Amino acid sequence: GVSQANYTAGNYVTTGCVDVGFWPTFATFGQSVNIDEAETRGFEASMNWRFADNLTLTGNYTYTDSEQKSGASIGLPLTNTPEHMLNSALRWDVNEALNIWLRGEYRSERFRGVGAARTALGDFEAYSLFHLGGSYKLSENLTLGATIYNLLDTDFVSLLPYGTPVQYAPEYTNNQEPRRLWVSLNATF
């Protein structure tokens, strides 16, 4: 970082950053800047297949190609934009009152952006998540629902060291929560 004395004396260099005052870890400080122009293109496909009276498989796939058309990262993809995304769900209608489903989602690795962290660590990791849920119709107007999100309890808070012993960057860019239970009671009237 920059010392208070060097900051006060003006002995520091900021490349494209707005001066926000003294900060002890000035050398590792960054600033987000909007891109003037970018282009995204791709395609999406989805399906819904009821392959038995009480079983339905749904899914969708998205391909995204992105490119920054201006700024310091011209020609590079947009930060944190997966090239491939896949979502799928299997739903079992056990009876007229009860249904159970399993849902999965996949995101391919994502461009980390330009900087020391990307040079040392590469792009943000790809990830998959699974969720299990269902609902039970208690009466004509009352439905109980429950979902276990992040069924496999995937840890997204992994930090990786790079550069100096005190520099860390996230392995994933998403802030997904650990396994959790969501319970709901819906009333219609």
pLDDT tens track for 101-143 = 999 999 999 988 888 777 788 888 899 999 999 999 999 999 9
As a whole number of Å, the end-to-end CA separation of the chain is: 61
Q: What is the pLDDT of residue 116?
A: 79
Which tokens go with 38?
A: 């970018």
Alpha helices in the chain, H assignment, sequence order: 4-9, 116-121
pLDDT of 79 > 80? The answer is yes
Q: For the chain, how big is the Rg over CA atoms in Å? A: 23
Confidence band for 26, pLDDT divided at 50, 70 and 90: very low
Instruction: At 141, give phi and psi (nearest 5°).
Output: -115, 5
Place of tokens 């009237």: 189
Distance between CA 26 and CA 10 in Å, rounded? Answer: 13
Secondary structure (3-state) at 27: helix
Q: What is the pLDDT of residue 140?
A: 95
Predicted structure pTM score: 0.74
Confidence band for 71, pLDDT divided at 50, 70 and 90: confident
Over residues 59-86, the mean pLDDT reads: 93
Q: What is the pLDDT of residue 28?
A: 52
Q: Look at residues 62, 65, 63, 66 and name the one whose alpha carbon lies nearest to residue 38.
A: 66
Which tokens go with 95?
A: 């009876």
Convert the pLDDT of each residue in 54-70 to its tens digit: 999 999 999 999 999 98
Q: What is the pLDDT of residue 48?
A: 98
Distance between CA 65 and CA 127 in Å, rounded? Answer: 19
**In percent, how much of the chain has pLDDT > 70?**
83
Q: Which residues contact 64 (CB under 8 A, 6 or more apart)?
A: 40, 41, 42, 81, 82, 83, 85
